[in-house]
Amino acid sequence: MRRVGSAFQVIVSGDDAVKLAGLYFLYGPPLLEGDEIVINHKLAEAVRLGAGGLNVSWEGPRRTPSGLVAADLTLSEASAAIKYNVYLRIDHILLEFRSADRSRVELATHLLRLAGVSAEVKKKGNRDVWYVRATTNKLAAGREELRKALAEIVREAIARGWVDARKAEGWLEKLESGRVLREGWPKYYVGLARSGALDVRFVSTNPDSIKQETQRLRDMGLEESKHFSVKMPEEDRYGYISILKEGLERAAWLSVHGPGEKQRLAAEFVEYILQRAREAGEDVYRKAVAVVMEGRARGSLTLKGFEKRVEVEGREHLVKVVGGGAELEESWSGKKLLKIEITAEVDGVKSEYTITYGRYGAINKAMGFAVARAAAPGGREADAERLAAVVEALTGVKPKVRRMKDGKIIIECSRTHLDGFMRYAELADAIAKWLKLY
């Protein structure tokens, strides 16, 4: 722990950081949900990716008085543990936890989600009894540790002659492969194109299937051509729906910030695409997670009222942002430029800063430039240092500061900085529109 100005900063690293992430998963607020000013999206995804502390154990199986095959399965993370009932029914596996204590059921739901299982808390009729449950398909979409434990329970029941072996083999096939479609979703392909970009698409020869999935995406809040493209099948040839990068980013944003039903549909869609990406391999999964995290963060913050301390050239600066915006304009040569304007107070000095982005070089690389002003308080050097502090505070990345022979000082920003600027509601739409031009 160290003092930073008038506040205190706590830094946790190594194994302790992993434990802390696990606790944040279980007990959520404020860093995993709630106020977008303090929400930590990177921590949220670290919890999702780094669920290494999850432990799975089981006991049984046993016969219930009604003749069902049952077992106890325990999921634990850090100091939290929940024992679930597992039932091998006639045509499916059922995992369930119920209690009159809703908080215990919410914890059980969190642990299931940590194990990769889509689950939600439900109430049993008008009674004060809460429960969470998942059946075969959802369980087979979970983490390997969970699927392995369930498969061991099934094998033990087969060995004792308590379940139909042929039907149980079907369960084992799903549990061992981990390749199961989420309920109600068609089979999407998720992979990497030759360029390394994420490729997400649904392919079918059935026009009705394409139409139905197109409508689902629209209901979610995605727009054709802007977020996904559609090619209808002709003469028994395949048609497809291709989810653009902007589409998955938008779905990720809706999964956090969307209204009502759109938020639910988008959350299910993103969770399903991440599951398919995980099945396709580590490289595909990492790419998908990067796109999803970028989408979740986009437009989630506001410039107005933003405040942060940063260190530039060994000196600490307090940055307070008053406001800002972005707009497209045309250069003298006809090129489309993106102008980002930010009004900020740095160490009590209030200024308006302008960063102009354009496309440069053979590959149309996105670069932004700002020129330090000689007339600013303290001259060019002080103005450049304050602007660098503003850029780093807002994006988390230091800009390059170039000192020219003629005395000019140029602050240079990259595409990485632009991605950081997209987190702010005042800038996100204009940046997205400009990027779409190229």
pLDDT digits (tens, 9 = 90+) for 334-355: 899 999 999 999 999 999 999 9
pLDDT at 376: 93
pLDDT at 293: 84
Q: Which of 44, 117, 110, 42 is nearest to 271 (CA)?
A: 117
Structure confidence at residue 317 as a pLDDT band (50, 70, 90): very high
pLDDT at 226: 85
pLDDT at 349: 95
Has residue 58 got a pLDDT over 60?
A: yes
The percent of residues in the chain predicted with pLDDT above 90, rounded, is 41
Structure confidence at residue 382 as a pLDDT band (50, 70, 90): very high
pLDDT at 429: 86
Location of structure tokens 């910030």: 257
Phi, psi of 248 (to 5 degrees): -70, -35
pLDDT at 403: 94
pLDDT at 36: 43
pLDDT at 262: 86
Q: Containing H/E element for 388?
A: helix 379-395
pLDDT at 53: 63
Distance CA 215, CA 186 (A): 13
Phi, psi of 281 (to 5 degrees): 125, 165
Helix axes 41-49, 282-297, angle to 10 degrees: 160
Average of per-residue pLDDT across 162-176 = 85
Structure confidence at residue 52 as a pLDDT band (50, 70, 90): low
Structure confidence at residue 29 as a pLDDT band (50, 70, 90): very low
Average per-residue pLDDT for the chain:
84
Q: Which of 199, 181, 182 is nearest to 190 (CA)?
A: 199
Structure confidence at residue 377 as a pLDDT band (50, 70, 90): very high
Average of per-residue pLDDT across 58-65 = 90
| Of the ranges 52-66, 127-141, 227-241, 342-356, the best mean pLDDT one | 342-356
pLDDT digits (tens, 9 = 90+) for 103-162: 888 888 888 877 877 778 888 877 788 999 888 878 887 788 888 999 999 999 998 889
* CB neighbours of residue 296 within 10 Å: 23
Give 164: exposed, middle or buried? Use CB within 10 Å, 0-12, 13-18, 19+: middle
pLDDT digits (tens, 9 = 90+) for 272-295: 898 888 888 888 998 998 888 888
pTM, two decimal places? 0.48
Tokens of residue 273, six digits: 């695409």
More reliable by pLDDT, 438 or 346 = 346
Q: How far is CA 62 from CA 44, 54, 108, in A?
A: 38, 25, 22
Average of per-residue pLDDT across 47-60 = 70
Distance CA 87, CA 64 (A): 9
Which domains are present in the chain? 2-51 (no CATH), 59-177 (no CATH), 188-297 (3.10.28), 307-436 (no CATH)
- Dmax over CA atoms of the chain, in Å, equals 90
pLDDT at 413: 96
